[in-house]
Amino acid sequence: MNKKQIVIILAVIVVVGYLYSLPVKGLVKPKDESGHANGVMADKGSRPVAQVSVEMVSASAKAAIGPALAAKIATLEDQLSKAPEGEAKLAVKKQLAKQWDDVNQFAPAGFYYLDLARKSNDFDQWLNAGNRFNEAYKFTQDTAVQPAYVANAVEAFEHARKLKPANLDAEVGLGVAYVNGGAPSPMQGIGLLLDAVKQDPTNRNANMNLGQFAIKSGQYDKAVQRFKSVIAQGKPDIEPYFYLAESYKQLGMKKEAVEAYEKCKEMTGDPAFNQRIDQFIKELKD
């Protein structure tokens, strides 16, 4: 497992804690055609979208990555300011998008991909932008910027679907953005996610997000089924095992939770991560 993946899963630990802190009030439990309940937030109405710029999110992101990496970003930003309009500027923006990606800073990467997509109307750039904004929403607790991330994700995925209506990555991404507040009712998003699973029962992104939405509503038994579906695909991955362990823990299934946590440890030799997991295991055994 590389350093980038370790950073992501450590962030997931924080996200799970945040999910548990969400108020239960306002959650609904709709059922799909098979009777499976999927927990999502009830219609919360539209939230005002603040003006959020790449400069704003880049400033906070630089503080997070440290001076050495921030200096590399600053050099590229200086090149961007001096580059002539056209291909030269776009080339620097591509470098900036990749650089921010490499240090797991989704919001600034999303803004650069969005700008590239608006210029090129390229499917991959729209998809890149949408995915980054969905991730930025997921990993921030700043409610002031979340509506902007959602709005940008919706724009990106809706354009992507116009270019490739049958693409499930775009459909799932849009579904997530809709549930996060990008549609009048989150059920529009759940409908897209369930449709993606109907077309492809092994769709990882759809099942992962349906599982996470189940966690938000306290439907841990449903979350377990979603994460087990991802794991059954036979591709070792820490994230579904970690969410599975958390779901088992909330169900009081301590033995199963410990086993899932142990699987997480098998997939990484990172001392910091394993120390956190050992703490969770100890709490279950005490």
Residues 6+ apart with CB under 8 A from 204: 230, 233
Segments of the chain with pLDDT less than 70: 1-49
Most distant pair of Cα atoms in the chain: their distance: 63
| Predicted pLDDT at 12 | 57
| Predicted pLDDT at 46 | 52
Name the phi and psi angles at 22, rounded to 5: -70, 140
C-alpha to C-alpha distances, 277 to 79, 217, 224, 257, 274, nearest whole angstrom? 43, 24, 19, 11, 5
CB-CB contact of 96 with 73 (8 Å): yes
pLDDT digits (tens, 9 = 90+) for 196-209: 999 999 999 999 99
**Residue in 81, 103, 105, 104 with CA at minimum distance from that of residue 93:** 81
| CA angle 92–71–4, rounded 5-degree value | 80
- Cα–Cα distance for residue pair 205/23, rounded to 1 Å: 25
Q: Which fold has domain 1-45+184-286?
A: 1.25.40
The structure tokens listed for 2 are 């590389």
Say which residue the tokens 């930025």 belong to: 136
| Predicted pLDDT at 120 | 96
CB-CB contact of 245 with 280 (8 Å): yes
| Predicted pLDDT at 109 | 98
- Strand (E) or helix (H) holding 147: helix 146-163
| Predicted pLDDT at 272 | 80
Residues 6+ apart with CB under 8 A from 215: 16, 19, 39, 223, 243, 246, 247, 250
| Predicted pLDDT at 110 | 98
* CATH 1.25.40.10 location in the chain: 1-45+184-286
**Residue in 100, 99, 76 with CA at minimum distance from that of residue 89:** 76
- Cα–Cα distance for residue pair 106/238, rounded to 1 Å: 20
| Predicted pLDDT at 29 | 46
**Residue 130: CA atoms inside 13 Å, Cβ hemisphere, count?**
26
